[in-house]
Structure 1
Amino acid sequence: MSQTESPQVSVVVSACGNTRKIRKLLDALAQQTLPTAQFEAVVVDNDRPGPIRPIQDAIRDGNWPFTVRVLYEPTPGLSAGRNRGICAARGPYVAITDPDITPDPDWLQALLAAIEEEQVFAVGGRTTVEYPGGQAVTLTQSLRECHGAVDWPNRREVAVWPYWVTGCNLLFHRQTALDIGLFRTDLGRRGRWMGDCEDLEFIDRARQAGHTTLIEPDALVSHPVYRRETTLPYFLRQGAGHGVCVARMHLSVRVEPAAIQAGRAALHGACINLAAGWTFLDRSRAVEGARDLARIGAYHLERTRLRLRGRRPIALAQLPATKETTDSWT
């Protein structure tokens, strides 16, 4: 594809120290059933500043049947890298993914068919999690959800609770995204800081502005999670980062109470899990309880910090009252 031709889809991936993985992703994109003339890859180099650019060097000698462009984003963080790629994308649709993702051959074709047939703002695919090195602890459903969604619909469904999309498998209208605002840079992974929720906030903000997002389970990618990401230290860091980011989400969207789970009932449940886990030597239950305590504590600390700085939250979404919502400390 020449530089004068416009692709239909721009695949945006932000990379930081993922030289080998980014080449593997580009190799997988070369196997897509969507004709290669219809898409491009926009790789954003989000590594530290310096004269040596390993990501750019690794891609420069590649020979892929589609256009690959490499950009540099000096501001650290996954959201900053993705935003740089979205702004530079030449296609009317943008698909975002991660360097370590392996997409099925019909991934892009399925996403594109769904968004054009349903005439919606965005379509998220199904992401399966693999554990190539095994698990340090047997994961409960709650711990598995730290690595991505567990439950997926059997057919196309609107992406509302209990379903949600993942940022490594999402296609959306570029211009609409520019109109409503891109990913918040105070959310999402940034170096060793384990932030998240940038994709959840983005989709919630679009939905609350009147735009629909669907889940297309036929658009499949796989995501590896390694053994070190199934340990207690990992879950404590992930829980704290998640709590902080959910608190920050209140500044721009109405957060569903089911996504908060930080009231008295949740705190009581976390303490019970921690105590019962240690008492009965149920390590998985103890890790889940410890992670939830880290998440709840970080959520309330961050909300307090934001209030002290005069940052006013948007009201909670109006949903039928439950024990969790009526007990929430908001």
Structure 2
Amino acid sequence: MTQPQTPLVSVVVSARGNTTNVRGLLDALAAQTLPRDLMEAVVVDNDPPGPIRPVADAVRDRDWPFPVRVLYEPTPGLSAGRNRGICAARGRYVAITDPDITPTPDWLQTLVDAIEEEKVFAVGGRTLVEYPGGQAVALTKALRECHGAVDWPDQRALAVWPYWVTGCNLLFDRQTALDIGLFRTDLGRRGRWMRDCEDLEFVDRARQAGHQILIEPAAVVSHPVYRPETTLRYFLRQGAGHGVCVARMHLSVAVEPAAIQAGREALHAALIGFAAGWTFLDRSRGVEAARDLARIGAYHLERGRLRLLGRRPIALRQHTPKEALAWK
């Protein structure tokens, strides 16, 4: 029997309770300009155990113009699902994304062109956040950054502060990722736990191991954020989860000071913002400050917990990485 051609790119998506979106993503992949014989999709079913597998049923109910494999990962969590898919991928490159993402038709081809032309480990594209249901609170820039990066370069640039990649729009060399280690499973979304930073830690760890990561703003996907994710309750939960995850990042990477912002000055600014926001009925400022207070408090509580457990952090990075200066 003839073996199928090894794909160039494996698109890995971990799905939990979003069956309709998975089918929409596969439709968008079928419209990609990258030749279909160069790609495959690996869909990881991360739903709870049970006899009904809606994700698998949604994928298998039609023929796709490229290979689509469905795997099951019983361990809950976005990182666990992605890791399962990356390990099973057959492509030289892995593109990770989310079920509710809508890529432009040239998305994959643009990422592949960038990674092969620049000879780097990974390339992240531009993620455009949309609010189809409106916003419960008028969002400040800091609040919009909770849903994804806001600032993007005009052309290819290193993924260093103030730019960062997002886990729903990232292409990387699979073998190198296996060598440096995949996504930490104590980071990233897990059910109702509002955790994140799994993509940030992964990229920082690769960079600090000597690999380069670029931003390619021409590789565009859109990401819908709905009204419940723009409420005070959401931002409090997101801030607390983010603080915990940044504290945990210290265990494996040297965290950029700009990504922490949990010292006395940040606390003082958050307290002033909270008082001013609610005193002068500036709800947006008040929500931003409340989120910062939740983030700072959770960060220090988690750092304290880790110290009690004897977990030693890596020292803070105070300078521009040498690898950042070497590109071009």
TM-score by length of structure 2 reads 0.96
Cα distance in 2 between the residues matched to 1:3 and 1:256: 46
Deviation at residue 4 of structure 1 after TM alignment: 2.3
Q: Distance in 2 between matches of 1:110 and 1:214?
A: 13
Does residue 184 of the first structure (1) align with residue 184 of the second (2)? yes
The C-alpha deviation readout for 1:194-246, integer Å capped at 9, x for no partner, is 10000000000000000000000000000000000000000000000000000
Correspondence for 2:19? 19
Aligned-partner Cα distance in 2 for 1:60–1:42: 12
What CA distance in whole angstroms lies between the structure 1 residues aligned with 2:180 and 2:57? Answer: 35
Shift of 1:62: 1.8
Alignment of 1:91-240 (within 5 A): 91-240=91-240
Q: Which residue of 2 aligns with 1:278?
A: 278
Q: Are positions 1:44 and 2:22 aligned together?
A: no
The separation in 1 between residues aligned to 2:276 and 2:62, in whole angstroms, is 54
- The 1-side partners of 2:315 and 2:22 are apart by 40
Change (3 A) 1:60 1:3: farther
Count residues with an aligned counterpart: 319
**Gapped regions of structure 2 (runs ≥ 5):** 321-328
Give 1:96 shift: 0.1
Q: Secondary structure at the match of 2:95?
A: strand
The whole-number CA distance in structure 1 between the counterparts of 2:269 and 2:12 is 40
One-letter amino acid matched to 2:169: N
**2:326 alignment counterpart:** none
Query: Helix, strand or coil for the counterpart of 1:6?
Result: coil
**Deviation digits for residues 2-29 of structure 1, max 9, x if unmatched?**
8621100000000001100000000000
| 1:106 counterpart letter in structure 2 | D
Deviating above 4 A after TM superposition, structure 1's stretches of 4 or more consecutive aligned residues are none
How far apart, in 1, do the equivalents of 2:23 and 2:92 lie?
A: 25
**Corresponding residue for 1:30?**
30
CA–CA distance in structure 2, aligned partners of residues 11 and 59 of structure 1: 14
Shift of 1:84: 0.1
Unaligned stretches of 5+ residues in structure 1: 321-330
1:79 maps to which residue?
Answer: 79
Amino acid corresponding to residue 154 of structure 1 in structure 2: D
Distance in 1, matches of 2:62 and 2:86, equals 22
2:324 corresponds in structure 1 to: none
Q: Is residue 297 of structure 2 the alignment partner of residue 301 of structure 1?
A: no
Deviation at 1:318, TM superposition (A): 2.0
